[in-house]
Amino acid sequence: MKTGAANVRGKPRARTATKARLHPAKTQRGKVEMPLAVKPARGRPRKVDNKAEPSVRERILEVAERLFAEYGMTGVGLRAITTEAKVNLASIAYHFGSKDGLLEALFAQRAAPIAEERLRLLALACEKSDPPKLEAILDAFLRPSLVLGADPRFGGPAFVKLRARLGNEPETLSRKILSKAFDQSSRKFIDALALSLPKVPRADIEWRFHFLLGAMFYTMADSGRIQALTNGRCDPSDVAAALRHMIPFLAAGFRSAPVA
Amino acid sequence: MKTGAANVRGKPRARTATKARLHPAKTQRGKVEMPLAVKPARGRPRKVDNKAEPSVRERILEVAERLFAEYGMTGVGLRAITTEAKVNLASIAYHFGSKDGLLEALFAQRAAPIAEERLRLLALACEKSDPPKLEAILDAFLRPSLVLGADPRFGGPAFVKLRARLGNEPETLSRKILSKAFDQSSRKFIDALALSLPKVPRADIEWRFHFLLGAMFYTMADSGRIQALTNGRCDPSDVAAALRHMIPFLAAGFRSAPVA
DNA sequence: GTCTATATTCAGATAGAC
DNA sequence: GTCTATCTGAATATAGAC
């Protein structure tokens, strides 16, 4: 043994130097001769979606999202996912290459719409008022993250929870994924906040943005703690109520005097 | 298979109905006759602590705290812990019974001092002013959590991180442990906050306390995200700076008008 | 209390038939 | 694309010698 920092269940396997069938070996199926008799509807087989019956890929994504959110990446085995999704174990390797690949695919699917909606709302807020109103900026930042996840068309609350979990982890993969998905829009929001609060120094804005992230992630994580503390009166899974309370709270914090 | 909700790596093992040697089988070693010749220093063998060389138990706790914080409970195997602590694998079962028992022992050791210090500072704040000053309450709540962990005598920043990780998990064990350790003091703080802000309805206080928890845990987790977003200018591991910014920010939020 | 050895189940990944 | 079967290693836990 003796791998330096102990063997900590990171990056397993890949033992022998086999051909490695590197996963994006898709695309090149049956690309041999193809007599091309009747010109068969160019491109991929079309996936006519005759009955909204979810494909294997979709079923895996849906189940993985839910289980990763509930038990964490390391808390769920591939077998748990394939069993519940009623698909074959090997299909994960086929469609996603690896467990990490599965997580990346999950975010590739869900994160972009959220980030886009955020920026759309921010642009809207900037149109309406110059400098933009603080509450509008905060709303633009928070609403898509909380609401898109509550929409079953976007996979329901599972993705919200998953993102919150990753947001509080120092792991490299989690950080990389979140950075890639949201850093750009986050920077734009920091700029917008600074613009709307010209009296507050940049350093203070940044700290306050950090607290904003914390409140947001904790709400998204929905750990059940505040429900227990308040006998259920305060329930973060009520997205509308959460936004109604969170935005004025944060706005007051952002407007407070700089610490100098 | 078919265990209902898929096999999700919760509670493994314990397969056959053996004698279960339930772990607190300690205490009863060599309790046979003991001639009692020279009255051998009653109680346990004393553990004279001749050279501050940490015991096996302490080494396990120290390493487990660090690895659990960094990779999460499910992300670390017992082998990783015993290897790095340079102790035998079986010693975890001997001293703590199980992996979960190890986590519980960790909290049993560290959480009580934090909760006590919290209440001590709260009492102090209540003495100095009636009703207590909001900033003093917030400081009493936050400071022990952030500062005791930053003190190497208390195990360093590892416990802080671990607690933050657990705080954002919906898992049952995490919740149970945190509830047991901190619910009582948290309730007292909610009461104190309500007392110091008589114009703010209880429901608002509770939501705001929730956001406070989020900001606190996110600071404790130190995921590295805000550092990346600000090129290192904002660094939550600087505990003094974190408190200096967090307390006024939260105080302003708590003082803002109720949402009605 | 500490150790070796082992039991059993699970992990992620891959090979190769179909 | 989907499947079965398998590899290798690691998971937690326990039995029992010393």
Which residue of chain B comes nearest to A189, CA vs CA? B229
| pLDDT number for residue A244 | 98
3-state helix, strand, coil in chain A (%, to 5): 60, 0, 40
pLDDT tens-place string over residues B87-96: 999 999 999 9
| pLDDT number for residue B43 | 52
pLDDT tens-place string over residues B196-243: 999 999 999 999 999 999 999 999 999 999 999 999 999 999 999 999
- Judged by a CB distance cut-off of 8 A, whether residue A208 touches chain B is yes
A191 token code pair:
């700029």
Q: Among A76-85, A155-164, A186-195, A221-230, which is the least confidently predicted range?
A: A155-164
- Give chain B's radius of gyration (CA, Å): 22
The more confident residue out of A155 and B118 is B118
Mean pLDDT of chain A: 86
Maximum CA pair distance of chain A? Answer: 76
CA distance B81 to chain A (A): 8
Indicate whether A50 pLDDT > 90.
no
Indicate whether A96 pLDDT > 70.
yes
| pLDDT number for residue A8 | 61
Distance in Å, residue B18 CA to nucleotide D14 C1': 9
- Judged by a CB distance cut-off of 8 A, whether residue B194 touches chain A is no
- Judged by a CB distance cut-off of 8 A, whether residue A139 touches chain B is no
| pLDDT number for residue B260 | 80
Maximum CA pair distance of chain B? Answer: 76
Residues around strand D, C-beta < 7 Å: A 7, 9, 12, 15, 26, 29, 44-45, 55-57, 87-91, 94-95; B 12-14, 18-21, 76-80, 89-90, 93, 97-100
Run of H or E including B109 = helix B99-128
Indicate whether A125 pLDDT > 60.
yes
B56 CB-near residues (< 8 Å, 6+ apart): B85, B87, B91, B95
Closest CA-bearing residue to C1' of C7:
B15
Which residue of chain A comes nearest to B222, CA vs CA? A170
The more confident residue out of B152 and A224 is A224
A10/B256 touch (CB, cutoff 8 Å), yes or no: no
A210/B236 touch (CB, cutoff 8 Å), yes or no: yes
**Pick from A75, A168, A223: which is nearest to B223 by CB?**
A168
Distance in Å, residue B227 CA to nucleotide C12 C1': 33
Confidence of residue A234 (pLDDT cuts 50, 70, 90): very high
Given a cut of 70, the residues of chain B with pLDDT beneath it are: 1-51, 154-155
pLDDT tens-place string over residues A157-185: 899 999 999 999 999 999 999 999 999 99
* E runs forming strands in chain A: none
Indicate whether A24 pLDDT > 90.
no
B206 token code pair:
């509770």
CA atoms within 13 Å, Cβ hemisphere of A202: 7
Distance in Å, residue B254 CA to nucleotide C1 C1': 53
Distance in Å, residue A15 CA to nucleotide D6 C1': 15
pLDDT tens-place string over residues A190-200: 999 999 999 99
- Judged by a CB distance cut-off of 8 A, whether residue B215 touches chain A is yes
CA atoms within 13 Å, Cβ hemisphere of A254: 27
% of chain A beyond a pLDDT of 90 = 74
For residue B99, the Cα-to-chain-centroid distance in whole angstroms is 16
CA distance A201 to A208: 11
| pLDDT number for residue A34 | 44
Which nucleotide in the DNA or RNA is closest to residue B14, CA to C1'? D13
Q: Which residue has the tokens 């940044």?
A: A206
**Confidence (pTM):** 0.88
**Pick from B10, B204, B248: which is nearest to A245 by CB?**
B204
Distance in Å, residue A25 CA to nucleotide D14 C1': 45
CA distance B234 to B225: 10
CA distance A90 to A111: 26
For residue B180, the Cα-to-chain-centroid distance in whole angstroms is 10
| pLDDT number for residue A157 | 87
% of chain A beyond a pLDDT of 70 = 79
CA distance A152 to chain B (A): 21
